Amino acid sequence: MVCSKSIPLGFLLFCLFHHVAIGASPLYHFCFSKQNYTANSPYEANLNQLLDLLYTKVPPTGFGSGSTGQDPNQVNGLALCRGDVSSNNCKTCVVDASKKLGERCPDRKGAIIWYDNCMLKYSDVNFVGQIDNANRFYMWNVQEVDNPTPFNEKVKELLSGLSTTASSSNPKLYATGEVELDKSTKLYGLVQCTRDLSEPDCKKCLDGAISELPNCCDAKQGGRVVGGSCNFRYEIYPFVDS
């Protein structure tokens, strides 16, 4: 994977990815808080307690949120695993995410990290139930399709349909699907929201992400918009565990 550190649209990061399997390395992270906490402080103790809570709470269902401590040392957080990830792999991902955030955002009061299998976010600000539009990045396949216009239309049609399904008929706020492009090629898609969002806010978040398709993934064989509250991915090969 090759990532550019230029951020031309606010908090957005643009990445390129080839048709290769993504391992256990983080996709990206933001140390979004400008505030630091000190070692052995009440905030650090509350953060550690929150992470312990998420290790236990998240794997059985794939999602969990919580708060520990009282102001001004309260820590709020959530973790989400991809809808097809097993409980064991979910727990491993959440544990790895917390360790990596500690390395990459030491002493920061707010941070978020994404892996292929999960995301983890914590902050001294109570963000639970609110759409996060600030922490977002793009990824796309370096290969382009031969007929961009009909392909782009199919991608938007698939993802828009999945957005409706995830936000209206799935308690996980998660949906996957596929459509035929031709006799030998299928298009595969996935959408997901964090489960602290209401169904209307989930759809609002996903539709907003899908509206970024021309900016991130025009004519690309695969692409993602990944954020703090929702994400989508599409490819011309299967990428979801059955």
- Tell me: pLDDT of 171 over 80: yes
Q: What is the mean pLDDT of residues 10-33?
A: 64
227 by DSSP, 3-state: which? strand
Q: Which two tokens stand for residue 118?
A: 């999960």
pLDDT tens-digit profile of 59-88? Answer: 999 999 999 999 999 999 999 999 999 999
Which runs of consecutive H residues, i.e. helices, occur in 13-147?
Answer: 42-57, 87-104
Q: What is the mean pLDDT of residues 212-226?
A: 97
25-123 and 136-235 have identical folds: yes
Report pTM: 0.90
CATH number of 136-235: 3.30.430.20
pLDDT tens-digit profile of 190-201? Answer: 999 999 999 999
- Tell me: pLDDT of 27 over 70: yes
In terms of Cβ atoms closer than 10 Å to its own Cβ (0-12, 13-18, 19+), residue 29 is buried
- Arithmetic mean of pLDDT over the chain: 91
| Amino acid 24: pLDDT | 75
As a whole number of Å, the CA-based R_g of the chain is 18
Model confidence at 242, in pLDDT bands (50, 70, 90)? Answer: low
* Domains of the chain, residue spans: 25-123, 136-235
Domain 25-123 - what CATH class? alpha beta
With a CB cutoff of 8 Å and minimum separation 6, the contacts of 57 are 64, 66
